[in-house]
Amino acid sequence: MTAHWKDVVLDGIAEGPVTVKVCHGDVDKKTAPLVLYLHGGAFLDRGEDGELPVARCLADAGAIVVTPDGSAPDRSAFPKALEEAFAVLSYLSRKRTLLGAKKSLLFVAGEEAGGNLAAGVALKARDQMPGMLDGQILISPLLDPFMGTKSFRKAEESGMRERWTEGWNRYLGFLGGVCHPYAAPRFCSRLGGVAPALVLTAVDDPLLDESVGYADRLRQAGVPVDQRILPAGLGWPAIYGGHSGDMPRWQEKVSKAFGIFVEEMRVRPE
């Protein structure tokens, strides 16, 4: 399947019209899931000029992928970034037939910094629109502002330590050091009732420990979790701009894991 991008303006959002990019292949809109995709970039890059290969993987797996343009630099810090993402998710929930169908499954997804946003949006959805979000896809989510896990030591060799430090400082700057649960979901004390999660990481991922740790806490809270730890050597750090010396070969595994997760959500009891 060859997915393609197009620009769409969403009217009727409280904050005003929002321009989004929509990606999908030749899909049946009656069955294709809707995915709000939040790209990475260490809370620094907005991604409007990039190809967004992770989003394309989801589209190639049969999804209709929607990602906010969000090119304004003042909209990349908490809480504005999360509020914008949640507003788009809420709109898609109300207006599913605009891009999909009335019964389209609705997901939020993101990698790295976008994975953090996706986890925060899922928590807010639980609190403000319970039952409307069918799942969250967290791909190496950047969840630990203290950057103290054992696997994070690999951030130096992947070239990401300085970048993530700068990004966390930018994203949390307005909070004065206080970690709001939507801003740093790893430290949220109440995870029960949040949407089922697909959590993807890799053995050579600096974000491995925080991804696995969050998946474990979701399970402990009774949340259904499908966790995949991919082997080393797939060029995994490339999904968020890091380097490992390996050619990226993770795309098919991401698409397959997403497809399986969607089918699991389709047959999941209410």
pLDDT number for residue 200: 98
pLDDT number for residue 175: 60
pLDDT number for residue 45: 78
pLDDT number for residue 73: 44
Q: DSSP code of 52?
A: -
- Does 255 reside within a domain? yes
CATH of the domain at 261: 3.40.50.1820
112 falls in which pLDDT band (50, 70, 90)?
very high
pLDDT, greater one: 38 or 71: 38
> Can you tell me the distance from the alpha carbon of 145 to that of 261, in angstroms, rounded to the nearest whole number?
28
> Can you tell me the distance from the alpha carbon of 56 to that of 111, in angstroms, rounded to the nearest whole number?
13
- Does 236 reside within a domain? yes
Average pLDDT over residues 88-111: 95
> Can you tell me the distance from the alpha carbon of 22 to that of 108, in angstroms, rounded to the nearest whole number?
14
- Does 178 reside within a domain? yes
Number of domains observed in the structure of the chain:
1
From the number of C-beta atoms within 10 Å of its C-beta (0-12, 13-18, 19+), residue 231 rates as exposed
DSSP H or E run through 4: strand 4-10
Residue 268 pLDDT exceeds 80: yes
- Does 270 reside within a domain? no
Q: Which domain holds residue 218?
A: 4-265
At 23, phi and psi to the nearest 5? -130, 125
Average pLDDT over residues 107-132: 97
pLDDT number for residue 201: 98
pLDDT number for residue 72: 46
pLDDT number for residue 269: 76
Average pLDDT over residues 33-39: 96
198: three-class secondary structure by DSSP? strand
Dump pLDDT digits (tens) for 161-209. Answer: 999 999 999 999 856 556 789 999 998 999 999 999 999 999 999 999 9
Picking from 68-72, 210-214, 232-236, 266-270, which range would have the lowest pLDDT averaged per residue? 68-72
Residue 67: CB atoms within 10 Å: 24
Residue 147 pLDDT exceeds 80: yes
pLDDT number for residue 29: 87
67 falls in which pLDDT band (50, 70, 90)?
very high
pLDDT, greater one: 71 or 65: 65
